[in-house]
Amino acid sequence: MEALPYLKEVSLKRDRVDSFNAYPFSIPAVNHLDTLEFAKDVTILVGENGSGKSTLLEAIAVGMGFNAEGGTKNFNFGTRSTHSSLYEYLGLSKSYKKHRDGFFLRAESFYNVATNIDELDEEPGPQPPIINSYGGVSLHHQSHGESFLALMVERFGGEGLYILDEPEAALSPTRQLSVLSRMHQLVKAKSQFIIATHSPILMAYPGARIYQIDQSGINQIKYEDTEHYQITKAFLNHPAPMLEQLFLDEC
């Protein structure tokens, strides 16, 4: 029997929701959620800012036992409790086999993860430094992008469930290509990725299942049909007319 995907699907326990007019149930990613099936390798959530993809991803991660601000399941720090109780309303269907490795990456709070690693390593004890699993160099002593890559290359070890929220935030296009390459290595090592992103580069992962979230619902979509791909392609092919139109609209 195939172990993958480690997380098969997520569903919303709609009968427990008091009002779909209240946050977070009012946002499209939750309001339209019934059952969402994940691919065994890479599933990508796309949508405009405010569509709720990050809120949904956070709830999935917390429901799977990860820290709300990011990290592995061993992290339990909290700089500020801002996550919603949405995870309590989700049903998570899992594989018969548990993933060996796992990580929840939140671009906006990865600084807090790096700080917690440094703080834990300052505590006395016989255990080896945690930072050794991340390449041996404090994540604060690297650029934001370098620390993201160190995480994926050094810490992610395969047979894992990796939930990534906007991992492209600190990465140049070249580094995003490096992430694609590392993802492919990890997929071949029996890993599953669930990613929320705006990056047309990361969305291009071959065979990825892409869900678009908007006011009409949550719908599977082809890569070439995403707004991110179409706008990026149109702009790169003909930047001058688009810029002219943008500036004309401001007049």
Instruction: Give pLDDT tens digits for 81-135.
Output: 556 789 999 999 999 999 999 999 887 666 666 777 777 667 776 677 778 778 8
CA 232 to CA 65: how far, in whole Å? 36
Residue 109 within any structural domain of the chain? yes
Residue 45 has pLDDT above 90, yes or no: yes
Helix pair 227-237, 239-250: axis angle to 10 deg: 100
pLDDT of residue 116: 73
Judge whether 102 lies within some domain: yes
Average pLDDT, the chain: 89
Residue with tokens 């956070």: 58
Per-residue model confidence (pLDDT) at position 77 = 58
- Is residue 2 in some structural domain? no
- Average pLDDT over every residue of 139-168: 88
**Residue-number span of the structural domain to which 39 is assigned:** 7-250
Is 1 domain-assigned? no
Does residue 100 lie in a domain region?
A: yes
Residue 210 lies in a domain: yes
Range of weakest confidence among 147-151, 173-177, 208-212: 147-151
- Phi first, then psi, for residue 105 (nearest 5°) are -100, 120
CATH of the domain at 60: 3.40.50.300
What's the number of domains the chain is made of? 1
Alpha carbons 113 and 12: distance in angstroms, whole number = 29
Tell me whether residue 129 is in a domain. yes
Band the pLDDT of 150: cuts 50, 70, 90: confident
The pTM score is 0.90
pLDDT confidence band for 184 (50 / 70 / 90): very high
Answer yes or no: is pLDDT of 6 > 70: yes
- Which of 136-145, 190-199, 208-217, 229-238 is predicted with the least confidence, judged by mean pLDDT? 136-145
Choose between 169 and 251: higher pLDDT: 169
Q: Is the per-residue pLDDT at 1 higher than 70?
A: no
204 — pLDDT class (breaks 50, 70, 90): very high
The per-residue pLDDT for 121 is: 66
Contact 5/95 with Cβ under 8 angstroms? yes
Write down the pLDDT at residue 10.
Answer: 98
